[in-house]
C-alpha cells in the first residue's frame, strides 16, 4: 500500500516531537563544526594570491561539506531507524561506506561543474574586469553595456536549463546516499537500489519537497527562526520517504529499536513497527 505525503509527514512529526533535540543536532551540528573548521582554514590561505586563495578555499569547503553531509545522513539513518541518542564519537567516525558516498557526491559536483564549464572563461573575464574598476558607477555602466556580460547572461540561461534537466534525471538516484550508508553498499549497488525503489514513484518523489512550501514560507516570514523546526522536519520527512519506499519494495529496514510512538492513537503506528 502506497503511503501518502500526509502519512509520511505524520510519522516524521511524531518522531521529531519525541526527540526534537536529536533531530536538531542531526541537521545543524555537523554543519556548524564544518563552518568552524572552514573559518580556521581560510585564515591559513590568506598568504596566497586572490584567485588561488579563492580556489583553495572553495575546494576545502566542498570537501568538508562532503564530510558534514555524510555525518548528518549517517545520524539521520540511525535516528529514523529508532536510535534515541547520539554518541559524540559518531560525529567523527567515518566507516567504509564513506568512500562510495564521497564518490557519489563527487559525481554530482562534476555534473554541476560540467554544466557551468562553458561559461567559466566569461565569469573569469567579468570578475577581472570588475576588480580593476574604481567606482560603482563604472561597474554599473559595465554591466549595462558590456558585450561580455550580455554573452554571459545568454550562456547562463542555457546552463541553468541544462542543470535543471540534469536534476530531473537524477531524481531516480536521489536515495543513493541513503542506501549506501544504511545498507553499507558500494556506489553502483546504491544507485541500482535507488533506481529500484523509486520505480513508479518518480513524480511522488519529485514533488515531495513542494509539500513543504508553506513551512518554508513560515521560516522566511519569521526571519529564519522558523527554520530551526522546518529544516529538521523536512530532513526527517525525507528520511521517512526513503523508509517508506524501501518497505513498499519489500526491503528490510532493520530497526535499531521500535521507533518511539508519540502521537496518541496514531493510525500509522502499526505500519511502522
Condensed to tens digits (0 to 9), the pLDDT of residues 76-133 reads: 999 998 888 877 677 778 899 999 999 999 999 999 888 888 898 898 888 888 888 8
**In the chain, how many domains are there?**
1
72 in any annotated domain? yes
pLDDT in tens, 166-193: 889 899 999 999 999 999 999 999 999 9
pLDDT in tens, 9-32: 999 999 999 999 999 999 999 999
77 in any annotated domain? yes
The CA distance from 35 to 64, in Å, is 9
Among 106, 253, 132, smallest CA distance to 183 is for 253
Tell me phi and psi for residue 271, to 5 degrees: -65, -35
H/E segment holding residue 12: helix 5-18
Q: Is the separation of the CB atoms in 59 and 235 below 8 Å?
A: no
234 in any annotated domain? yes
Among 247, 245, 248, smallest CA distance to 194 is for 245
Among 164, 188, 165, smallest CA distance to 176 is for 188
154 in any annotated domain? yes
Residue 154 CB contacts under 8 Å (≥ 6 apart), including other chains: none
pLDDT in tens, 201-220: 999 999 999 999 999 999 99
262 in any annotated domain? no
The CA distance from 206 to 196, in Å, is 15
139 in any annotated domain? yes
Domain extent, residue 95, equals 5-248
Among 239, 230, 263, smallest CA distance to 18 is for 263
pTM: 0.85
Q: How far is CA 160 from the centre of its chain?
A: 19
169 in any annotated domain? yes
254 in any annotated domain? no
Amino acid at each position: 500500500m502506497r503511503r501518502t505525503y500526509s502519512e509520511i509527514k505524520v510519522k516524521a512529526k511524531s518522531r521529531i516531537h519525541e526527540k526534537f533535540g536529536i533531530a536538531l543536532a542531526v541537521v545543524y551540528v555537523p554543519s556548524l563544526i564544518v563552518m568552524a573548521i572552514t573559518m580556521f582554514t581560510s585564515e591559513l590561505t590568506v598568504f596566497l594570491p586572490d584567485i588561488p586563495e579563492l580556489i583553495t578555499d572553495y575546494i576545502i569547503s566542498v570537501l568538508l561539506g562532503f564530510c558534514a553531509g555524510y555525518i548528518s545522513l549517517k545520524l539521520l539513518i540511525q535516528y529514523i531507524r529508532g536510535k534515541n541518542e547520539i554518541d559524540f564519537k559518531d560525529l567523527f567516525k567515518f566507516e567504509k561506506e564513506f568512500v562510495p558516498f564521497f564518490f557519489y557526491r563527487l559525481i554530482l559536483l562534476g555534473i554541476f561543474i560540467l554544466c557551468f564549464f562553458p561559461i567559466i572563461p566569461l565569469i573569469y573575464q567579468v570578475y577581472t574586469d570588475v576588480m580593476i574598476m574604481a567606482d560603482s558607477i563604472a561597474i554599473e555602466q559595465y554591466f549595462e553595456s558590456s558585450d561580455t556580460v550580455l554573452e554571459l547572461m545568454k550562456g547562463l540561461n542555457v546552463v541553468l536549463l541544462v542543470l535543471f534537466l540534469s536534476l530531473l534525471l537524477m531524481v531516480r538516484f536521489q536515495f543513493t546516499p541513503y542506501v549506501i550508508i544504511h545498507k553499507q553498499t558500494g556506489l553502483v549497488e546504491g544507485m541500482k537500489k535507488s533506481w529500484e525503489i523509486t520505480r513508479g514513484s518518480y513524480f511522488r518523489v519529485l514533488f515531495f519537497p513542494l509539500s513543504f512550501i508553506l513551512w518554508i514560507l513560515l521560516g522566511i516570514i519569521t526571519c529564519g527562526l522558523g527554520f530551526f523546526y522546518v529544516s529538521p522536519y523536512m530532513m526527517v520527512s525525507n528520511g521517512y520517504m526513503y523508509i517508506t519506499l524501501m518497505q513498499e519494495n519489500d526491503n528490510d529496514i532493520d530497526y535499531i529499536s521500535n521507533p518511539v510512538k508519540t502521537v496518541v492513537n496514531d493510525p500509522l503506528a502499526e505500519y511502522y513497527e
